[in-house]
């Protein structure tokens, strides 16, 4: 249930926006790539959290799928080890109840050979009874999407099912178009859930709530009052055991054309007719079609020193691990306002921040204020936080101005029950809410926007680990500067 709550102290007012969904009925979750890195870090912990929060259907079973011949007990032990490492740590009594609903179907799954999946699903359906809902989660590299989708249709597992695709949905414009054609030859669009976990973050959702529910912000949300926007997602993380995937993808495909473009659309979209799924999706996709195709001259690509020494990385790899880009949106609201997007691996800090930088107001203090003194920021990490940087008079006999900061931790709102992004989004799949998932028309526009960069990328320049990336990125935002790392 989504609520809006005002006031962390004193009297609070809560407005219910959407109601609780009814139990969706018996459900079988099929997790492809169940022993892979994505499942380990994100999907399996999220699934257990859903169970702890009583957000799974009353009757459910989880069937993992992979190429290996793994016994049910061994997969359960793997699942338990995953939770010990990434959380939530399982309570022994609770785990005993949970694990008995978890199974594994080995032997892979493709159009020629379904492995043991069909047999395991038949047993699962017999255990649950009736005609349970099927939810397929493709936690596999994009190269496997086409074959798995066709196999779902070939083996009778597509009708009425919901299918979750991880990003990136395609690796180029041509590949996206081919994949989209295959998907729609097997599935209706209403069955498709293209996940982008940045859209599931509490603070990302609060972007449009803060704007549309508060006249103070709605009135200033345009080029008249906004000088620039920064969407900054630096990471201290390495590529860990994602080497094969990352060397084929890089920061541009892994982050820029997926997460950062989607967040930019959340910031820039016109007010939707409602916050229902169709209206939210339509508003997001409409503004993406106003993104100006990226000029490679407006992009800096980097690779951290030592990347080629990572096991599994080509010794001559020229893959980017860093990207900073300037994006323009050609519509009346945003024309002339630069959107600066930045992300990279092995940088100085890990942050996820959207910053709305306001123009200096005209009047008696014009030209006398410190830079960055009028900024509205959203921290997307963790449970989310809204920060307002403003100017106030410092108490005392003289007129001395000073920057002041007001912070609103979203988890501190009365009755807040924040959900991690994957937990939120998988729950949305369960209840059939597609509002935070991407549509093919918007993705087609994203590939068109990205085409000049992908076809003619600038040279990849090295940067030291633990730095803020290539020095060239500072020149990209001149006469502005990056708020982080200064």
**Structure-token match 């024309």, residue found:** 335
At residue 366, the pLDDT reads 57
342 — phi, psi (to 5°)? -145, 140
At residue 178, the pLDDT reads 96
* Helix, strand, coil % over all residues of the chain, rounded to 5: 35, 20, 40
In contact, 58 and 132? CB cutoff 8 Å: no
At residue 361, the pLDDT reads 75
Closest CA to 1 of 13, 25, 17, 12: 17
At residue 254, the pLDDT reads 92
Q: How far apart are CA 260 and CA 413, in angstroms?
A: 27
Instruction: Look at residue 404 and give its three-state secondary structure.
Output: strand
**CA dist list (Å): 299 to 236, 306, 340, 403:** 21, 22, 10, 32
- State whether the Cα torsion 194-197-202-206 is positive or negative: negative
Please identify every residue annotated as catalytic.
259
56: region left, alpha or beta (phi > 0 left; psi from -120 to 50 alpha): beta
Q: How far apart are CA 324 and CA 77, in angstroms?
A: 41
**Structure-token match 């519509």, residue found:** 331
Q: In the 8-state DSSP scheme, what is residue 259?
A: I
At residue 363, the pLDDT reads 60
CA atoms within 13 A of residue 97's CA, in its CB half-sphere? 8
In contact, 176 and 169? CB cutoff 8 Å: yes
**Residue-level pLDDT, tens digit, the chain, 486 residues:** 333 333 333 334 444 444 456 789 999 999 999 999 899 999 999 999 999 999 999 999 999 999 988 999 999 999 999 999 999 999 999 999 999 999 999 999 999 999 999 999 999 999 998 899 999 999 998 899 999 999 999 999 999 999 999 988 988 889 999 999 999 999 999 999 999 999 998 888 788 788 898 998 899 999 999 999 999 999 999 987 788 889 989 999 999 999 999 999 999 999 999 888 889 889 999 999 999 999 999 999 999 999 999 999 999 999 999 999 999 999 999 999 999 999 999 999 999 999 999 998 766 655 556 667 789 999 998 888 989 887 767 777 877 666 778 888 887 877 777 889 999 999 999 999 999 999 999 999 999 999 999 999 999 999 999 999 999 999 999 988 999 986
Q: In the 8-state DSSP scheme, what is residue 350?
A: -
- Beta strand 385-393 with 13-16: parallel, antiparallel or unpaired? unpaired
Residue 261: exposure state from Cβ atoms within 10 A (0-12, 13-18, ≥19): buried
């Amino acid at each position: 249930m989504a609520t809006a709550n005002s006031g962390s102290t004193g009297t609070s007012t809560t407005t219910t926006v959407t109601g609780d969904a009814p139990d969706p009925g018996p459900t079988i979750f099929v997790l492809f790539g169940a022993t892979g890195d994505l499942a380990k870090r994100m999907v399996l912990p999220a699934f257990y959290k859903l169970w702890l929060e009583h957000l799974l259907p009353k009757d459910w079973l989880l069937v993992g799928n992979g190429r290996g011949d793994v016994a049910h007990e061994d997969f359960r032990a793997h699942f338990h080890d995953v939770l010990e490492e990434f959380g939530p740590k399982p309570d022994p009594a609770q785990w005993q109840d949970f694990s008995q609903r978890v199974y594994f179907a080995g032997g892979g799954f493709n159009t020629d050979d379904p492995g043991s999946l069909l047999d395991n699903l038949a047993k699962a359906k017999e255990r649950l009874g009736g005609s349970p809902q099927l939810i397929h989660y493709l936690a596999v590299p994009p190269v496997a999407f086409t074959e798995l989708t066709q196999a779902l249709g070939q083996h009778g597992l597509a009708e009425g099912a919901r299918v979750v695709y991880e990003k990136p949905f395609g690796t180029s414009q041509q590949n996206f178009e081919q994949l989209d054609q295959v998907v729609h030859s097997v599935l209706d669009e209403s069955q498709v859930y293209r996940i982008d976990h940045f859209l599931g973050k509490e603070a990302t959702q609060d972007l449009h709530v803060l704007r549309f529910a508060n006249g103070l912000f709605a009135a200033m949300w345009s080029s008249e009052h906004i000088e620039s926007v920064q969407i900054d997602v630096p990471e201290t993380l390495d590529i860990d055991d994602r080497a094969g995937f990352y060397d084929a993808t890089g920061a541009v495909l892994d982050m820029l054309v997926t997460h950062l473009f989607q967040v930019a659309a959340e910031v820039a979209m016109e007010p939707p007719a409602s916050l229902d799924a169709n209206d939210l999706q339509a508003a997001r996709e409409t503004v993406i079609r106003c993104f100006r195709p990226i000029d490679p001259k407006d992009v800096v690509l980097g690779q951290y020193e030592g990347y080629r020494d990572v096991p599994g990385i080509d010794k001559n790899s020229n893959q980017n691990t860093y990207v900073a880009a300037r994006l323009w949106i050609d519509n009346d609201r945003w024309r002339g306002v630069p959107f600066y997007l930045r992300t990279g691996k092995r940088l100085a800090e890990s942050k996820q921040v959207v910053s709305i930088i306001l123009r200096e107001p005209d009047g008696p203090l014009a030209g006398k204020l410190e830079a960055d003194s009028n900024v509205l920021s959203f921290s997307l990490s963790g449970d989310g936080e809204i920060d307002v940087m403003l100017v106030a008079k410092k108490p005392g006999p003289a007129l001395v101005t000073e920057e002041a900061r007001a912070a609103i931790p979203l988890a501190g709102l009365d009755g807040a029950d924040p959900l991690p992004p994957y937990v939120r989004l998988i729950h949305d799949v369960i209840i059939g809410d597609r509002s935070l998932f991407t549509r093919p028309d918007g993705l087609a526009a994203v590939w068109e926007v990205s085409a000049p960069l992908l076809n003619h990328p600038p040279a990849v320049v090295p940067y030291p680990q633990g730095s803020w990336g290539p020095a060239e990125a500072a020149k990209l935002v001149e006469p502005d500067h990056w708020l982080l790392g200064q």
